[in-house]
Structure formats: structure tokens, C-alpha cells
């Protein structure tokens, strides 16, 4: 049985203005090599617009989801995910394989 990988999409309001995600939205995730704050930063894009980051801190990663550091080597340079749940200021997305 293949295990599903879920991530926390964080910073929905404070970095990029209001971001409106809905369950079922397809998002791109891309490594951000030039990020001076996080060596394992993964940016989240909705329709080619950067809208958030994959959470990478014990304070921001929702329980049961993977941090950016844990999926960093799984996605290559970029990947895709689908929003499965919406929380108050975060979203939970499933990383798609292939």
C-alpha cells in the first residue's frame, strides 16, 4: 500500500496578501534555492503566482503532515499538489506522485 504524503501550506495571508484556496485546487511546488531564510524552502504557486510556502518549522507544520525538509528530496525541482483541507490560516495539500 502506497503512503499518501500531505504538506502544510503556510503563510496564506501575511506574505502575499489574501490567498483564496479551495479544496481541490491544484498547486505547483518549486524549490527556492536562493531563499536566504531557509535552505530547504519550497514555494507554492497557484496559476503561476507565488502564494505561500510549504511549512518547515515545528511551529507551523500541522500534525500528520510533512515539512518542506522531509519532502525536499522527493519532489525533484518541482512537483504538484492538491488542496485537501482548509484550516484557518493554512491548507493541507496532498503531494501528487509522478
**What domain count does the chain have?**
1
pLDDT 10s per residue in the chain (98 long)?
478 999 999 876 666 655 678 899 999 999 999 999 999 999 999 988 888 999 999 999 999 999 999 999 989 999 999 999 998 888 999 999 85
Please check whether residue 55 lies inside any domain of the structure: yes
Residue 77's contacts (CB-CB under 8 Å, 6 or more residues apart) are 30, 31
1 within domain boundaries: no
Residue 86: partners with Cβ closer than 8 Å, 6 or more residues away = 21, 22, 23, 92
Q: Domain range spanning residue 74? A: 6-95
What's the CATH code of the domain at 80? 3.30.70
| 64 within domain boundaries | yes
**Residue 26 belongs to a domain:** yes
Give 1: exposed, middle or buried? Use CB within 10 Å, 0-12, 13-18, 19+. Answer: exposed
Amino acid at each position: 500500500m502506497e503512503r499518501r504524503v500531505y504538506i502544510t501550506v503556510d503563510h496564506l495571508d501575511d506574505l502575499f496578501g489574501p490567498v483564496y484556496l479551495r479544496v481541490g485546487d491544484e498547486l505547483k511546488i518549486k524549490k527556492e534555492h536562493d531563499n536566504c531564510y531557509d535552505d530547504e524552502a519550497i514555494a507554492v504557486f497557484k496559476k503561476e503566482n507565488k502564494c505561500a510556502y510549504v511549512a518547515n518549522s515545528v511551529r507551523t507544520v500541522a500534525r500528520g503532515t510533512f515539512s518542506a525538509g522531509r519532502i525536499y528530496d522527493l519532489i525533484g525541482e518541482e512537483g504538484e499538489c492538491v488542496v485537501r483541507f482548509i484550516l484557518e490560516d493554512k491548507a493541507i495539500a496532498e503531494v501528487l506522485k509522478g
